[in-house]
A and B are shown apart, each in its own frame.
With several copies, the nearest count.
Chain A
Amino acid sequence: MIELVQGKIDLERVIAAVSHPGAGATVIFVGTTRDHNEGREVIRLEYEAYEEMAISELQRLVLTAQTQWPETRAAIAHRLGEVPLGEPSVVIAVSSPHRAQAFAACRFLIDELKKSVPIWKKEFFQGGEVWIGTQQGTPLPSSWVRPDS
């Protein structure tokens, strides 16, 4: 299960998607909108995605995880639109017969998701708004050329 959802993420549903009788361990990552970021008090947050590509990138990541940790199953739900403070914006569940693999695959998926999946977060704070991102976070092609140079 890979989903981009408007409205609250149903945590139990994400977990149910990876449950099976041989899965002794499930590791779940829940990413929540924080009230502070880099010293700013955050008022609200909005997420936007390049949906078709986000889905295909997430599928690619899940396949990569299943290749590296063959007994794992993974499900990912990411919320789009406005996300009230304190509510989950992303949930990743990974089940496995053994916990080491579930931990490793879950960590891999959230790290890669944040690096390469085209989903953007806009933070609204007292006195302004900002798109959150980092150049390092986006895969830079080797032939990268600064357009202004």
Chain B
Amino acid sequence: MRVLVRYFAAARERSGTTEEWIEVEESATLAGLWSLLVQRHPALAGLGSCISFAVNREYTDRLHTLRDGDEVALIPPVSGGSTGGCIHD
């Protein structure tokens, strides 16, 4: 099955793309997808502790199980605050 991955802000710059379809296994979780994405775009690894995820435009956690056709967004920290607390390279 495949999911549409959308990249924003720092994640967009590090992946070098705004969106792409990614093949994942049945019952893949967000954590599994993230591993694939980091292999594909190693520069993303540095954002790891800062990224949240949305599936079909709702925030969710990394244990979330994906379904065919899901829209997954990588959500770097939003613009509200300082950079304090978010560790990335």
Contact = CB atoms under 8 A, between A and B. Distances in A.
B79 A121 contact: yes
A119 interface: yes
B85 A134 contact: yes
Interface residues of A, number: 37
B83 A117 contact: no
A130 B84 CA distance: 13
Contacts of B38: 147
Chain B, interface size: which category? Answer: 35 or more
Nearest to A89: B79
A64 interface: no
A114 interface: yes
Query: Which of A119, A133, A136 has the most chain B CB atoms closer than 10 A to its own CB?
Result: A133
A130 B88 CA distance: 12
A12 interface: no
Contacts of A144: 61-62
Interface of B: 6, 8-10, 12, 31, 34-35, 38, 45, 48-50, 52, 54, 57, 59-63, 73, 75-87
Interface of A: 38, 47-50, 52-53, 56, 113-122, 130-148
